[in-house]
Structure 1
Amino acid sequence: MHASGRLSRLLIMLALTAGAARAADHEPALVIYGMESKPICFTENGKPAGFAVELAQQVTYRLNRHDDIKVVPWARASAMALAAPNVMALTMVRTPERELTMRFVGPIFNSYIAIFASKSQAPQLRAQGRGAWLALRGAARRGSAFIAIAQRHGYRITDETNGSESAARMLVQGRFDLWFEGEEIAMEAARAAGLRDGEVELLQRLETQEVNFAFSRATPVATVQAWEAALRDMKRDGTFQKLHRKWLPGYPLPGEAKAGVPAKAGH
């Protein structure tokens, strides 16, 4: 690229940054909710941490915003994002139903939705085969897309848990037979629940879904667009990829970051 071209690009980026900063000065504060889902979002020494947390913090820094991140139960996070203005859920699977009530920016990572069983039941379940699993008791996190995904594949959801840690514990206790959860967080949830490695086993991966930042519909479009632009820049300059490798090593980047094309926002 010629020097004049590089200078032009720099000036454009400075102008966009300045515009975002001016917009942030006049926009209401955004309340950001995440849930305990290590390594994506969790509490460490009383402060939010994890991949989605650091990603959001980097966006707010670039936009000259000072929005708080609160780690709360998933049901509360999703309910607030659906109903209250100026609310963002750190992580949410994008579905046609949610498109009607929320605006999305992403994707930020892939969720590998899978079926888990307790160590004591796993060998027998594998021997029986998937056909027998359809009649068993299944559970997923309350308010999550995992419920509809499991049901779409023909499974029964008899329990909706408050969180991933309680689900792991209840699975081992025999409260249900199958647990539907993201592969990237399930084993960390089991450890956080006090279980030993190996007490929860992966049976089968069901499907992959892209996870996004999700904004309440009452959030100003300008705010959503500013987050979209900042995330796009992070994917272009490599910041996004660096954070993804740090927190999700071994997992592929979501499609857009891999291809280096712009992120999408639902407007």
Structure 2
Amino acid sequence: MTEDFPPFGYYDKNGKLVGAAVEIVQLLLVKMNHPDKIQVLPWSRAIRTLEIEPNHMLFAMAKTPEREPKFKWLGPILYDDIFLYQLSSDSSEYNNIEQAKKAKYIVVTRGFPEEKILEQLGFKNIHTAHTPSQALSMLMSGRVTMIASGSIAITPLLQRSNYPLNALKETKVKLFSTGIYIGLSKSTPDEIVQDWQIGLNEIKKSESYQNIMSKYFSLP
């Protein structure tokens, strides 16, 4: 399972499921001789399914302390830094956590780790959205002051929503860094996890993996 969230997974203009995480997982499925049965679901439904159903995989997931004991894990497949972003037209300065706490509202996608992180840091000005696109729309319309987003996701999110790439600017408030993983149902046998991890490690050394990274993140 995955969600519709560029650049990790999304439908292109021809209706084909693409994205950095999707294409890495597709390589893994081929290597492990497993059928490609990737489903695109709302995040809240997908992670709930992973919690209660056996034999499921969900990507791309941040492995947070809260989530870690609930699932088995493959990865990381990617890395990301989570920042607060504001409108480029907003002259307010947010250089630290305390300044950010004084903002009117910060929007996060419900169920994403940044929601829990902000709560743990004592933020009281949190708004939630069902999807990253909805969160961005709330910021662009002026309903909220900032959005919490991964640095590798914010540009594709703007592109997908047809907003100028210079519409937002990164504040100096970095919430956390995280590896991006594939989560597996807790009941998955450790031997299977180990076999798939070996397969993923081999893929990450391949030219195909580097081509995916260059394609989506302009890495050398």
Q: TM-score, normalised by structure 1?
A: 0.74
Percent identity between the two aligned chains: 24
Aligned with 2:60: secondary structure? strand
- The equivalent of 1:185 in structure 2 is 153
State the shift of 1:157 in Å.
4.8
The offset of 1:200, in angstroms, is: 2.2
Instruction: Decide which structure has greater helix share.
Output: 1
1:69 matched residue in structure 2: 38
Match of 2:195 among 214, 219, 226: 226
One-letter amino acid of the counterpart of residue 105, structure 1: L
Once the two structures are superposed, residues 12-61 of structure 1 have per-residue CA deviations (whole angstroms, 9 ceiling, x without a partner) of: xxxxxxxxxxxxxxxxxxxxx11222122111222211111111111111
CA 1:48/1:223 → structure 2, altered by over 3 Å: closer, same or farther?
farther
* Displacement after TM superposition at 1:91 (Å): 0.8
Partner of 1:135: 102
Once the two structures are superposed, the pairs formed by residues 24-43 of structure 1 within 5 Å of their partners are 33-43=1-11
Output the aligned Cα RMSD. 2.0
What SS does the corresponding residue of 1:104 show, helix, strand or coil? Answer: strand
1:96 lines up with 2:65 in the alignment:
yes
Larger Rg: 1
Residue in structure 1 matching 2:134, options 131, 150, 166: 166
* Cα gap change, 1:93 to 1:132, in 2 (>3 Å): same
Structure 2 length-normalised TM = 0.88
1:200 to 168, 171, 175: 168
Given that residues 48 and 69 in structure 1 are in contact (C-alpha distance below 8 angstroms), is that contact kept between their aligned partners in structure 2? no
Q: Which stretch of the first structure deviates more once superposed, 145-154 or 91-100? A: 145-154
Segments of 5+ residues of structure 2 without an aligned counterpart are none
Preserved contact between residue 89 and residue 215 of structure 1 (Cα < 8 Å): yes
CA distance in 1, matches of 2:118, 2:126: 11
Corresponding letter in the other structure for 2:70: T
Further displaced range: 111-120 or 202-211: 202-211
Asked if 2 retains the 8 angstrom alpha-carbon contact of 1:36 and 1:71, the reply is yes
Give the C-alpha shift of residue 168 in structure 1. 0.7
User: Mind listing any 5+ residue stretches in structure 1 that lack a counterpart?
Assistant: 1-32, 252-267
Instruction: State how far apart, in whole Å, the 1-side matches of 2:100 and 2:8 are.
Output: 29
| Residues 1:85 and 1:153: Cα distance change in structure 2 (over 3 Å) | same
The C-alpha deviation readout for 1:82-108, integer Å capped at 9, x for no partner, is 222111111111122212210111111
In structure 2, the partner of 1:24 is: none
Q: Highest relative contact order (Cα 8 Å, sep 6+), 1 or 2?
A: 2
Return the offset for 1:195.
2.1
Displaced runs of 4+ in structure 1, greater than 6 A? none
3-state SS, counterpart of residue 184 of structure 1: coil
